[in-house]
Amino acid sequence: MLESLQDKFQKSLKVLRGEAKIRPAHIESALEEIKQSLLEADVQFKVAQTFLERVKAKALGAEVVGSLTPYQQFLYILQKEMLEIFGEQKDFSLQFKPPVVIFLVGLQGSGKTTSSSKLAFLAKRKLKKKPLLVSVDVQRPAAIEQLERHAKDAKVDYLNPASMDPVVRAQAALEYAKTYGLDLLIVDTAGRLSIDEVLMNELKTLQSALQPQHILYVADAMSGQAGLQVAEGFSEKLGLTGAILTKSDADARGGVALSIREALGVPLYFVGMGEKLEDFELFHADRWVSRILGQGDLKSLIEKVEEVTQEEQQKGRRPEKMASRAMKGQLNLVDFQEQMKMMSKMGSMKGLLGMIPGMGAMTQQIDTMALEKKLKRVDAMICSMTPKEREQPDILNGTRKRRIALGSGTQVEEINQFLKEFWEMQKMLKGLKGMRGLKGMGKLFG
């Protein structure tokens, strides 16, 4: 989703590259391109119009500051005004008497159940809270079982009361959370294909009974403005406190992210960008704007690296030692397999590349899905090796390779190609040893 917006913005800004002075004609041309980009991305017309008017007013009267080029100056104005769209960054406050009650509301299929479990997982892992999950969606088949399965995966508390009355289920969960000292109660509410009076009455009754501190609207990134029009109905009836954007990893137009604040008047708190429990983050407007404008998001990348590194250290592993061996060209296939596992925990290859400044455009050129598929085949090859072969890959002869190929469902030619690339990587890393700036990169390799 971000790649789509990023690509459109980069094309729009080409007109200003290489210019020595900001000229009105150039600004008009760039703004017209940006307008088309925003509308194609399904940004609300009112949001796009206000944004462009502010950018134009500031760009036309702007003096180029210091050593900045006109392109950089215009980029700075875009960045500042785009942050205005998102509004003041607010933390997701949990400073209430526990248990804090959180409702997730939205249409059927928007991702409420998955987001409930992801929010619980994030609250436990990053916010150090003790959450409880409960489903009051008694209409959708298997909704209750689905949430229970997700709760087990997330290793968080889950309650399935005997009653099938939504209010009774929610109240039972609230009493359970109070009794056992749990910090959060996350309630997965029912959805419909469209807003109806029955659904709204049910939600209002639940709201009256539990008095939730947060009511979060779950917005599907693929639903565009139509989804936000529905959201306005929820906001009017319930009084939303925030929003969650789901399916942002999909090939969506992305404008919904820029329109949420204007349409709902509430902050966007969380973003889901994949199927895994880990693919759910606190929303940082400055980081998103930076990525949309092609400047990467090193802060998030560093956080992901540090998070995975800490997990590995808690398991008794030493990523820093692996990094040291990497720089000496001494990695074996056990190390390589560990690296692949750590990278997979950090998210998709496409998402990681998009966080590196200047690399966003490469995601359009690299078939990251094919690359991830190839890495899975490599993992199967390594799993089919003996411990000795993983530690000493130079002993792999024709007979051993045929056995490995048979065990991993691959071809000997694939094994030869992988080993060739592995040895080339070893030489490259050894050659990089001692170069300035690579000390920090070593952690990433690790």
- Asked whether residue 337 falls in the same domain as residue 201, the answer is no
Structural domain includes residue 95: no
- Of the residues 61, 85, 109, the one at which a domain ends: 85
**Residue 444: predicted pLDDT:** 42
Categorize the per-residue pLDDT at 404 as very low, low, confident or very high, splitting at 50, 70 and 90: very high
pLDDT digits (tens, 9 = 90+) for 93-146: 898 999 999 999 988 888 899 999 999 999 998 889 999 999 999 887 688 999
The arrangement of strands across the sheet holding 184-188 comes to 157-158, 131-135, 184-188, 100-105, 214-220, 242-246, 268-272, 280-282
Categorize the per-residue pLDDT at 304 as very low, low, confident or very high, splitting at 50, 70 and 90: low
| pLDDT of 280 above 80 | yes
Structural domain includes residue 90: no
| pLDDT of 158 above 70 | yes
Categorize the per-residue pLDDT at 445 as very low, low, confident or very high, splitting at 50, 70 and 90: very low
| pLDDT of 440 above 50 | no
- Asked whether residue 394 falls in the same domain as residue 265, the answer is no
Backbone phi, psi, residue 53, to 5°: -65, -40
- Asked whether residue 130 falls in the same domain as residue 224, the answer is yes
Rounded distance between C-alpha atoms, residue 268 and residue 338, angstroms: 35
- Asked whether residue 247 falls in the same domain as residue 110, the answer is yes
Structural domain includes residue 91: no
Structural domain includes residue 317: yes
Categorize the per-residue pLDDT at 446 as very low, low, confident or very high, splitting at 50, 70 and 90: very low
Rounded distance between C-alpha atoms, residue 374 and residue 353, angstroms: 17
CB 443 within 8 A of CB 320: yes
**Residue 438: predicted pLDDT:** 43
Count of CB atoms within 10 A of residue 421's CB? 11
Categorize the per-residue pLDDT at 442 as very low, low, confident or very high, splitting at 50, 70 and 90: very low
Q: What is the CA radius of gyration of the chain?
A: 25
Which CATH number does the domain housing residue 407 bear?
1.10.260.30
CA dihedral of residues 312, 315, 316, 322 (deg, nearest 10)? -20
The more confident residue out of 27 and 295 is: 27
Instruction: Specify the DSSP element, H or E, that contains 134.
Output: strand 131-135
Structural domain includes residue 427: yes
pLDDT digits (tens, 9 = 90+) for 30-72: 888 888 878 877 788 888 888 888 888 887 765 555 556 667 7
Q: Whole-model pTM above 0.85?
A: no
Mean pLDDT of the chain: 80
CB 406 within 8 A of CB 361: no
| pLDDT of 166 above 70 | yes
**Residue 45: predicted pLDDT:** 84
Name the domain count of the chain.
Answer: 3
- Asked whether residue 282 falls in the same domain as residue 320, the answer is no
- Of the residues 272, 292, 312, the one at which a domain ends: 292
**Residue 439: predicted pLDDT:** 45
Which stretch, 225-234, 348-357, 359-368, 376-385, has highest mean pLDDT? 376-385
Structural domain includes residue 92: no
Rounded distance between C-alpha atoms, residue 423 and residue 429, angstroms: 10
| pLDDT of 369 above 60 | yes
- Asked whether residue 78 falls in the same domain as residue 107, the answer is no
| pLDDT of 5 above 70 | no
- Asked whether residue 269 falls in the same domain as residue 322, the answer is no
Count of CB atoms within 10 A of residue 316's CB? 6
Which stretch, 56-65, 178-187, 339-348, 369-378, has highest mean pLDDT? 178-187
CB 261 within 8 A of CB 250: no
**For residue 58, what are the domain limits?**
2-85
- Asked whether residue 121 falls in the same domain as residue 11, the answer is no
Categorize the per-residue pLDDT at 372 as very low, low, confident or very high, splitting at 50, 70 and 90: confident
- Asked whether residue 263 falls in the same domain as residue 353, the answer is no
Structural domain includes residue 246: yes
**Residue 354: predicted pLDDT:** 62
| pLDDT of 437 above 50 | no
Structural domain includes residue 93: no
- Alpha helices by DSSP H, 87-223: 112-125, 143-154, 166-179, 197-210
Rounded distance between C-alpha atoms, residue 309 and residue 441, angstroms: 13
CB proximity list for 283: less than 8 A, separation 6 or greater: 245, 267, 268, 269, 270, 271
Which CATH number does the domain housing residue 46 bear?
1.20.120.140
| pLDDT of 269 above 60 | yes
- Asked whether residue 208 falls in the same domain as residue 273, the answer is yes
| pLDDT of 243 above 80 | yes
- Asked whether residue 12 falls in the same domain as residue 157, the answer is no
- Of the residues 292, 314, 346, the one at which a domain ends: 292
Average pLDDT over residues 272-300: 76
- Asked whether residue 220 falls in the same domain as residue 156, the answer is yes
Q: Write the DSSP symbol of residue 272.
A: E
Average pLDDT over residues 154-168: 94
Pairing relationship of beta strands 268-272 and 280-282 according to DSSP bridges: antiparallel
